Amino acid sequence: MKTTTSTLTFENHWDHFLARWAVNRMGHRIEPGLYALGKPTADSPVFVTANYTLSFDALRSALAGIDAYILVLDTQAINVWCAAGKGTFGTDELVNRIQATGLKDVVNHRVLILPQLGAPGIAAHEVKKRSTFKVEYGPVRASDLPEYLQRREVTPEMRRVRFTLRDRLAVIPVEIIGGIVPLVIAAAIAFIFGGIPSALIAIAAILAGTVLFPVLLPWLPTHDFSTKGFLLGAVVALPLVLLSLSSNADAAWWWRVARAITPILIWAPVTAFLALNFTGSTTFTSRSGVRREMFAYIPVMAWSFGIGIVLMLGLPFIRALGG
């Protein structure tokens, strides 16, 4: 059995910073197993978490002054919520970890306290059947655990899942890092075919999908992330649309209209696609809803983008031929 404390060091905070900025993304992990927090006895509570450092540190820091055991599952350095969806924070791993750590011989009771957001990956009745341990789901936020231990019940407020502006800002850095290379490539291609205005819109569309979208998420109209992203991308592309309409006054009306809508056809689906990345980071979606949205809208994004590219490449030739 390993030991830990509730005190977070500078090294821990630095690790959290690097994790938020996707530096060595899969390296922010601790060894799975059983940890003693403080001086636990055979009657002390047992908490279950993931081996992602941010998840583990959030739990132990919330339990300051409390003697307990922390059972860490091997979630491959993925947080509880996402790991539950992927199956690594799951029934089999929990049962196997109970057996591997000899937890039955460590504690007198047979109760495990799991985070509420891990529920999708756990079949509580299977855990009880295979290990004799009963699963209890604690509050959403680790900070509520001390009160939960006193009351031994979860209030409606503790069950409430929030996704505040602070939470949404926390997921932005990873998306920025992941989008740097595509942003540079897209801006370069847009500059070649449309000059500086097109390059600026390309940058704006990608930043809208990675930065502006999570900030504005609760206030964007429609329910689906994809349609929210389409609308945001269309607004971002609007300056280029207006610029296109105001130029080429000698061209045929249909040519001007086709050229004007091209930026929306290209960049709105790009913003929408990037917006879909946040379905796994927010509390606004469900697993079935995400699958439905992907099957429904990704083909639309592909067709819109493809038609936009065809128009961007073809319209200059049509005009040169006198169309």
Residue with tokens 């307990």: 68
Residues of the chain below pLDDT 50: 323
Inter-axis angle of helices 91-101 and 124-131, to 10 degrees?
A: 30
Q: What is the pLDDT of residue 252?
A: 78
Predicted local confidence at residue 9, as pLDDT: 96
| Whether residue 125 sits in one domain with residue 47 | yes
Q: How many domains does the chain have?
A: 2
Single-letter code of the amino acid located at 182: P
Strand order in the sheet with 46-50: 2-4, 33-37, 68-73, 46-50, 111-114, 134-137
- pLDDT recorded at residue 138: 92
- The whole-number pLDDT of residue 222 equals 87
**Spatial separation of the C-alpha atoms in residues 125 and 94, rounded to whole Å:** 12
> Does 211 share its domain with 81?
no
Check whether residue 124 and residue 206 sit in a common domain.
Answer: no
Q: Same domain for 129 and 257?
A: no
Domain end point (choices 161, 189, 211): 161
Are 74 and 125 contained in the same domain?
yes
**Same domain? 16 vs 144:** yes
CATH number of the structural domain spanning residue 29: 3.40.50.11600
SS3 at position 8: coil
89-139 pLDDT per residue, tens: 999 999 999 999 999 999 999 999 999 989 989 999 999 999 999 999 999
Question: What is the domain range of residue 262?
Answer: 166-320
Among candidate residues 151, 150, 153, the one with its CA nearest the CA of residue 116: 153
pLDDT of residue 284: 60
* Crossing angle between the packed helical segments 287-320 and 225-246, to the nearest 10 degrees: 20
- H or E segment to which residue 56 belongs: helix 53-62
Amino acid 320: pLDDT: 67
- Cβ-contact 127, 112 below 8 angstroms: yes
Instruction: Please tell me whether residues 195 and 284 are part of one structural domain.
Output: yes
Asked whether residue 152 falls in the same domain as residue 181, the answer is: no
Residues in the chain: 323
pLDDT of residue 151: 84
Q: Are residues 19 and 102 in the same domain?
A: yes
Beta strands at 134-137 and 111-114: parallel, antiparallel or unpaired:
parallel
Q: Answer yes or no: do 173 and 138 share one domain.
A: no
